Structures are given as structure tokens and as C-alpha cells.
Structure 1
């Protein structure tokens, strides 16, 4: 059993909302933080969708259990207030080093001494901003995959300063919210999952933007040849377009810069964000 009782999740975007809801569904009290009332209204909509999703896809979630999880979530647009009673703070704010450092500085000044701090960052190493917390020994990465009720991995990755007891507590917490803990033994950009996945996605996007093959052909090739349930562009749709865009636009590879331009112009600016919006590289029922 974990000593963690109250969890604050910072950021209620696609993955942040999933983390918050999965934690509440598992029986924890959750504070969902975002920057303003508009963002929190969108979070409420995401949580309602997650309740319906769990009822349809998660065994045992019917009969009111999914809605019970929703009742354990409270909302805040005041960062200091949101973390003042937290045993664990999970950060899922935008992938900007400046934003993360500023966020964690406020958290470190406001959270109780017992609190454990975890970042869900997928592209930044925790050591790059651990000092902003003021408590690097209580800070580490806890990285989730999208659609966490199905792809239920939780990668736990500390820094050279992370207290081993804190690491073990987070491993146990991950297990307690129905995740499979993936213990990463040292800092690695991309953890285990993205170290495997990103080269695949980069190769697929390069094949497409260079005109080697179309989206359907690339996906079909991967599915048939490997037995995988999804092709890379189907995976892009699950991830959503914003994170791949942010990664591609900072790449030195011309094919990735071209891919970023296409994602921005033809997808993000058109509201085609993938599965979450009903359309991306493919269309999905709403």
C-alpha cells in the first residue's frame, strides 16, 4: 500500500486529464489544475468523455464506478492552492523548459514537505529542471502512454539525486492506479517507450513527406509485416498532432521540419487533431 492519498495533476490536456481521471478512478482524491476557468471547463468535458470510455472499455467500470471516480476530482486555477495538501504532484504542462521550471518553482514553494514531485515530460530529462523544485531528492519522472486505460504503462525514471525511497514509492503508486510500472534504471531521453517508438514515427513521416509511399501504404506495410495492431500514422492520430508537431519543428532533419509544416497547416490549423477531434490522418466516429 502507498502512503499517497491526495494527488494534484498539473495540466488537463489530453494526457493530463487521463492521468487525473485514472488516479481518481483508482480511489485517490485528485486536484486537477489548469491555468484558467476556460481550460478547466475543457477538462470537465474530457472527464465526461473518459467516464463514458471507461464504462464502454474497462471491465468493472459500469454500475456507477466510473462516475464515482469523477466525484473524487476537484478543480483549481490557483497553482499554490492546488498543491498545498498534495502527497504527490504530477506535472503534465506544455513541453517547454521555461514553463516547467517556473511551474516547479511555485510548486516547490507551496507544496508540503512530504510531497513527492513527478514530471510526465516526454522529451525533457528531469535533471534539466529538477533544481527548480528546491527538492531534487523528491523529484523524478513518471511517464504515461496515451490511452492509459489500455496502454497502461507508467515509466518511472529518477535522476542521480532522486531518493531511492521516493522512487520505490512512485513505483508502488503506479501499480496502485492499475499501471504496469516500467522501471528505467538511469536517465534516458525518450525513456523505454519513446526510444523505441520515435524512430519508427520519424521513419514513417519521412517516407510520407518525401513521397515514397502514402499514409495507408505505410501503415498497411507495418501492420502486415510485424503483426502490430496499428500503423505509425494511426499511432500519430492516437497521440494527437500537437506533440509530434512540437518535436518535429525542433528537429535538424529537413524531412521533420517539412513534416512539422504540414502538421501545422493541414491538421492543427484545421482542427484535425487525431482521434480526440474525430479526424487526423484518418476519420473517426464521434
Structure 2
């Protein structure tokens, strides 16, 4: 029999894990956020305070609604405590197969018999981890998009042993928290969303890594060609988080022996991850937040004639020296 999944545990207090936790609590679920690292939990709490302001401004949430959301959230670094009463566990740990497998194997003996498990993996398949969960029939993928409060989709993907009852409850849960369920009819790395998003971001990073263009001009190109979009691909990388971008490009670069992807991953690690510049989460990535350049008036305007020398210098670096 289908029943509501009211007690939710989110494994991983990163960017999207934090969003899933906050939004589920906002929609009335009791939510436990788990992360091994207290520092990550503190960052998640800080993000939740930011989401409170966003939900008030963008969704019209009242002070009481925010207070009730906060009351439904708890945070812990103890895995057994995190999952002891869970109806649904949503795994949102780093996009590293070994890390996910280790978490599942550690969690498996701690779960109540009825608990369902879903992965929010960006590009990996549920079949890769089904055995490690210890309950393959109760396991599937449930993938969310960043900025969950406005990008309200949830991609649902099964593996060969997923029970129909599991999918029924997971789809119902997605609808209960205001998501549009997107059925994925066969296992596909990247679902629908990341099947086109990952190549876009990889191509974008290649343009930067190889010195073809700058983040601002890449985003201007995208936003002019796609009028009405809220951000370009470099802005999206900041929203997704540089650590996730690095993990995805590094994994698939090694998996495919793709030198360009590995070079892109190395660039992100050197310029961002190693410096603690993780994007929107830390206030700096390709842009500085809370007021990134791509949101400023005039970002897409035709420039004045006083910009000619600067623009020519980017095309032909010798031109600026010659003009001075």
C-alpha cells in the first residue's frame, strides 16, 4: 500500500543536499541532514538561513512558515541517528563512486526494514550501487535540479530490480513536495537534464581552459542567444558548485580517458577548489556573490565606443600595446 514518506534523511549537506532538505521541510516533511563533517553541517545551516530569505522574497513564505520549516530540520554527523526513523533516505554525497558505495555499505545495516533509498547522483547509475544498499528493490534514482524552489523537477530512474511499489511511493513523494516528476524510461547516465547540461558545461570549461574566451563573454553569448534565461553556463557552474563540477569532469575524464575533460578538471581544482572558491555556496566562483556581474544592469547591452580598445585587445593582445 502506498503511504506518505514523512520522515526524510538527506545524506550530504552540500549545495543540492541542503536545498533538498530545506525544501522538503518547507513542504511539511520531517528532515534530518547528515554529513560526516561538522563544517559542512555549519555551511548547510548558513545556507538554510539564506533560503529562508529567498523563500520569503520569491515564494511569499510567511515568518510562521519559515519558523515551522526550521522546526522540522535537524542536523547530525552520526549516521545511525540520522537514519533510525527514516521513511526515505536521499543520498546526495559527492559524485565519487567509491564514496557513495562506502556510505551505502555503512548505512545498510542501520536502516529500518521499510526505508526506501534514492540517489540524487548527477551522472552515475543506480545499478552501480543497488547491491551496496542491501535493499535493491527499495532503491532508485531521484534527481533534483539546483535552485529547487524554482527549478522544480525531479527525475525518477529505476534499475532492473527496483520494485514498482518503490517507484509509486517515490513519485508520490516528489509530487507532495511540489516537484514535476520526470520519468526516465531506461537507465541513462545524466537522465534528461544532465545529458545535455554536462556537455554544455564541459564545452564551456574547455573554452576557458584553452583560453578561447572569458567567463563573462561566454555567458553574454549564451544569454543573448537564449534571451530570458536567468544565468549562463559559468553562472550555472557557480550555482551547481565547483566541487561537483570537478568531481563530474574528473570522473568522466578518467573513465573515458578524455584529456580535455581531465584538463578542465585540473583547471577547476587549481583555480577554485584548492582555494576554497566553491561558487555561490562560498560567495565566489566565476563570479562574486550576492551580486554577480551577469545580474547587473547593462550586462547584455551594446557597449560604448570607449570599449573598442579593450575588445580588440582580447582578440589581438598586441593591439593594446600598439595603441598605448
TM-score > 0.5, shorter chain as reference:
yes
CA distance in 2, matches of 1:39, 1:199: 29
SS at match of 1:149: coil
Scaled by the length of structure 1, the TM-score of the pair is 0.94
Q: Deviations over 1:62-117 (max 9, x none)?
A: 23212210110122222122111111111111222222222212322111111111
Aligned length: 285
Offset of 1:160 from its aligned partner? Answer: 1.0
- For 1:21-62, what per-residue CA distance to the aligned partner results, in whole angstroms no more than 9, with x for missing partners? 111110011111111434333332222222122112223x12
TM-score normalised by structure 2 residue count: 0.83
1:209 aligns with 2:209: yes
Question: Does the Cα contact within 8 Å between 2:136 and 2:161 map onto a contact in 1?
Answer: yes
The residue correspondences of 1:37-186 to structure 2 (distance < 5 A) are 37-59=38-60, 61-186=61-186
CA distance in 2, matches of 1:247, 1:275: 18
Distance in 2 separating the partners of 1:146 and 1:218: 21
Residue 281 of structure 1, aligned match among 267, 286, 305: 286
Larger Rg: 2
Where 2:281 maps in the other structure, the secondary structure is helix
Contact 2:95/2:248 (CA < 8 Å) preserved in 1? no
Q: CA RMSD in A?
A: 1.7
Please list every run of at least 4 consecutive aligned residues from structure 1 whose deviation after the TM superposition is greater than 4 angstroms: none
Distance 1:209 1:32 in 2: 36
Distance 1:285 1:7 in 2: 30
1:219-238 alignment, distance < 5 Å = 219-227=219-227, 229=229, 230-238=231-239
Instruction: Specify every segment of 5 or more residues in structure 1 that has no aligned partner in the other structure, as ranges.
Output: none
1-structure distance, mates of 2:274, 2:40: 19
Which blocks of at least 5 consecutive residues in structure 2 are unaligned? 292-324
- Distance change >3 Å, CA 207–CA 162, structure 1 → 2: same
How far apart, CA to CA, are the structure 1 residues paired with 2:284 and 2:278?
6
